[in-house]
Amino acid sequence: MAESVVELPSRLAILPFRNKVLLPGAIIRIRCTSPSSVKLVEQELWQKEEKGLIGILPVRDADESKPLGSAISQGGTDSLDQSSKVQGGSLDSNKLDTKKQNDVVHWHARGVAARALHLSRGVEKPSGRVTYIVVLEGLCRFSVQELSTRGTYHTARISSLELTKTEMELVEQDQDFITLSRQFKATAMELISVLELKQKTGGRTKVLLETVPVHKLADIFAASFEISFEEQLSMLDAVDPKVRLSKATELVDRHLQSIRVAEKITQKVEGQLSKSQKEFLLRQQMRAIKEELGDNDDDEDDLVALERKMESAGMPQNVSKLAHRELRRLKKMQPQQPGYNSSRVYLELLADLPWQKASEEIELDLRAARERLDSDHYGLVKVKQRIIEYLAVRKLKPDAKGPVLCFVGPPGVGKTSLASSIASALGRKFVRISLGGVKDEADIRGHRRTYVGSMPGRLIDGLKKVAVCNPVMLLDEVDKTGSDVRGDPASALLEVLDPEQNKTFNDHYLNVPFDLSKVVFVATANRMQPISPPLLDRMEVIELPGYTPEEKLQIAMRHLIPRVLDQHGLSSEFLQIPEGMVKLVIQRYTREAGVRNLERNLAALARAAAVRVAEQEHVVPLNKGVQGLAAPLLENRLADSTEVEMEVIPMSDNSQEISNTFRVASPLVVDEAMLEKVLGAPRFDDREASERVASPGVTVGLVWTAFGGEVQFVEATAMAGKGELHLTGQLGDVIKESAQIALTWVRARAADLNLAAAERVNLLEDRDVHIHFPAGGVPKDGPSAGVTLVTTLVSLFSQKRVRSDTAMTGEMTLRGLVLPVGGVKDKILAAHRYGIKRVILPERNLKDLAEVPSSVLANLEILLAKKIEDVLEHAFDGGSPWRQHSKL
């Protein structure tokens, strides 16, 4: 920007700016899209080697303006998209509306000559319209003498309004101009200093103050401010430098004062209000504004609804007092504060918990409850009787405490589903909590609210989900809880399952007592050994040892087969499994305490039937279009294929569309060949015991596992050696000691048993004994194999075979007494499943036979033994072959 005066031509092409003014010294970026503006730029700027000048003339619509000073009325003007750039800052203006030729606009009498600093040409796709982007710099003012058109754009005869160099020198010597200049520069410097503190800028502007003439600075500063169109026109009309300086000084001072007022308000507010208080004030103002607008849907309503919900929750007085204190604290907080969400979630949990809400009590009909239990489960007489007893007590004493039952048994016997049936019989809601693998005490008691991400324990969360205070709560796999540095969940359950303590159960997250005494707790476990004695003492243990083959057959026919057919989209019209085939599946393909593998095998048969039905060639889909078939056509179709059964379904106008239904005339009946084809070769054989006990030194024992009772073979052999005993089969310390005791007893009684010629003869002289428990991948331990080990060693040394139809169990002492063992019912059921006919038991286990089903005992010969000699008498054919010579 030099101080030399710009030489203007007598006529300039005019580019109209609607409601916008370009002042000298300002830089603006425009986008020309209308035909008139594109034509102007193309002819006046693009096609000329030296970039020429154009005139920028402000215009405004007649219905929006009252012309200032003199104005020229003319037909319509071109519209353009424009965005302005003022000394490094940018300003985007709205897109101008295209005006018709008959629209009346007002052309301002004064404008600004501008030169192009940058020019670029573009083509819009797919229309192909040419557009120009032009960067213009305002140079000097001019007045319009005459306005005319040249093709599609306007031109004007103009005269310059800028002072000559001589005139400007005279003005600069004027005392008023000097005073105004100093005042303007002082105000501008003060503004620049303030902006520099706020925005860390202002270096370029200070240079302008020192290098650019003051009358041009006035235009530059005025163009930098956001002022009205009228003020822009007033600044454009200020041809006199003194008037221009006066107006610019007023604009600069006004902008400076607005900045100071804003800073003063900010400092005052920051001095009195903290950040949270400021947010509170703003939100109060926002709330007031929303109330005026009728839009009051904010957090306040949520808190009011929460308070109303808390009032209707039926909390005890002490809990209600604490909750309302927390709610008052919450109302004083802002949603952005750290503790707001945790406090609100805590109050919502208190309001959601069923403090007094209980399931509606149904009329206690013991007969209906018994029928419901029988329909859900077959057998399990002891469990069902216990439930009926509880219902009878509830009928006589409605406020009786719920029992704490613990079902112990192998997998697949129906422990979990039995708990669900109890809830159904009681007419209560059911909630299941799995404790398998839980090692953190907080899973039971909850986390303290001081921790990030804290939450209530599983019991409180389960009660919240069912929304009643008296559900049937299943604690599944209670024997599989662990313990580590985070605590012992089993110890936390002591309070839960104690009727004298659980009325004031204290969850760490709630931190207030909650009454669990109305909950009926049912626990399940596979074994009792891992459960701590104090916890076991709080529960009423009911053992579910497993099902007999007869019970499995009835369960399969009543429950499993209908469920499997339904799960596979079949019915008895497609697949029929006779009882005989189910028996074969139970005997040859499943030997388990429960029925899960039985259900899997039945499902395999159902899948095979589903494939057959889906691939059946003579299958007719019955659709709604069947009704349109004529009777002769149906007769012909049936005559062609006698295996197809078709029916016509009459349909009314409002009947629903019937999905494809497949009917086959002959259902698939499972036979033994199909069993082997689908399930493979039989996995179990009744002849296994006789084959494995064919040689001396092999005995059939009975063991108990977490999966029920099992048959365990014990094998022994002798070889040349140094008199050592070798034990294999992943054995524990107890069973190793039992083997040592058995060998010691046999060696001590070798002469009496006619195993050695003289009493002083050593049975192990120059030979070793190796005892193996097959299935070496399965760990084994326990004392109940004592009598089995003695029988095995006697058979080995005497070379007499043990009866293959006989199994045994019992602990022995060093003096030869037979001690009782546990799991008798499971072991007898396992022997029955395996086809064993005779079972040797300790005499003191006679009382346990009362729990064994009579149908099982009818097929077994139970032999009781008080001493080892009794076991040996029953284990061999014809009794002990050395009985005549023995001193025993």
Tell me the DSSP string of 421-483.
Answer: HHHHHHT--EEEEE-TT---THHHH---TTSTT----HHHHHHHHHT-SS-EEEEETGGG---
SS3 744: helix
SS3 392: helix
Report how far residue 697's alpha carbon sits from residue 771's, in angstroms, rounded to the nearest whole number.
9
Check: CB of residue 723 under 8 Å from CB of residue 767: yes
Q: 784, 798, 804, 880: which is the annotated catalytic residue?
A: 784
Check: CB of residue 577 under 8 Å from CB of residue 609: no
Using CA atoms in the order 246, 250, 256, 262, what is the torsion angle rounded to 10 degrees? 180
- Tokens matching residue 475: 């604690």
Q: Bridge partners of 771?
A: 716, 727
Beta-strand relationship, 53-61 and 27-32:
unpaired
Check: CB of residue 777 under 8 Å from CB of residue 785: no
- Residue 128's region, left for phi above 0, alpha for psi from -120 to 50, else beta, is left
Report how far residue 596's alpha carbon sits from residue 564's, in angstroms, rounded to the nearest whole number.
12
Check: CB of residue 347 under 8 Å from CB of residue 323: yes
429 given a catalytic annotation: no
State the alpha helices, DSSP H only, in 693-732. none
Q: Of 422, 443, 437, nearest to 496 (Cα)?
A: 443
Report how far residue 78's alpha carbon sits from residue 16's, in angstroms, rounded to the nearest whole number.
7
Q: 20, 429, 825, 827: which is the annotated catalytic residue?
A: 827
Report how far residue 131's alpha carbon sits from residue 128's, in angstroms, rounded to the nearest whole number.
9
The 10 Å Cβ neighbour count of residue 355 is 16
Q: Of 97, 90, 82, nearest to 30 (Cα)?
A: 82
Q: Which residues neighbour 215 within 8 Å (Cβ) at sequence distance 6 or greater?
A: 168, 241, 244, 245
827 given a catalytic annotation: yes
Query: So which residues are the catalytic ones?
Result: 784, 827
